[in-house]
Amino acid sequence: MGALKYPEWQEALDEAVLEFDSERLSVKVQSAEKVIRDRLHKLASETNDFRERQALTDALATLEVLKRHRLYVRAQ
């Protein structure tokens, strides 16, 4: 894998995406969501970096898919 453009939050996202144990996945998804939301909040007061904001929004959507397909499906 190449260098991450936004390692401050992409590392947490990658850890969640690559986790297949449902118990650990739940924790990693929650952790990634917090890091991403914190970064979005910080960006709101700092800059107009549209590209990172879009990447953050996409990351949250990815986490929603993980929750829906890997966590909720297994729980049923």
Which pLDDT tens digit goes with each residue over 16-64? 999 989 889 999 999 999 999 999 999 988 777 899 999 999 999 999 9
- Taking the C-alpha atoms of residue 63 and residue 17, their distance in angstroms, rounded to an integer, is 8
Residues 5 and 40: their CA atoms lie apart, in Å, by 15
Q: State which amino acid sits at residue 29.
A: V
**Looking at the 3D structure of the chain, how many domains does it have?**
1
31 within some domain:
yes
Please give the pLDDT value at position 35.
Answer: 98
Q: What is the pLDDT of residue 75?
A: 54
- Residue 64 belongs to what domain range? 8-75
1 inside domain: no
Residue 3's SS3 state is: coil
Rounded Cα gap, residues 13 and 76, in angstroms: 25
Domain-embedded: residue 40? yes
Confidence of residue 74 (pLDDT cuts 50, 70, 90): low
Residue 2 lies in a domain: no
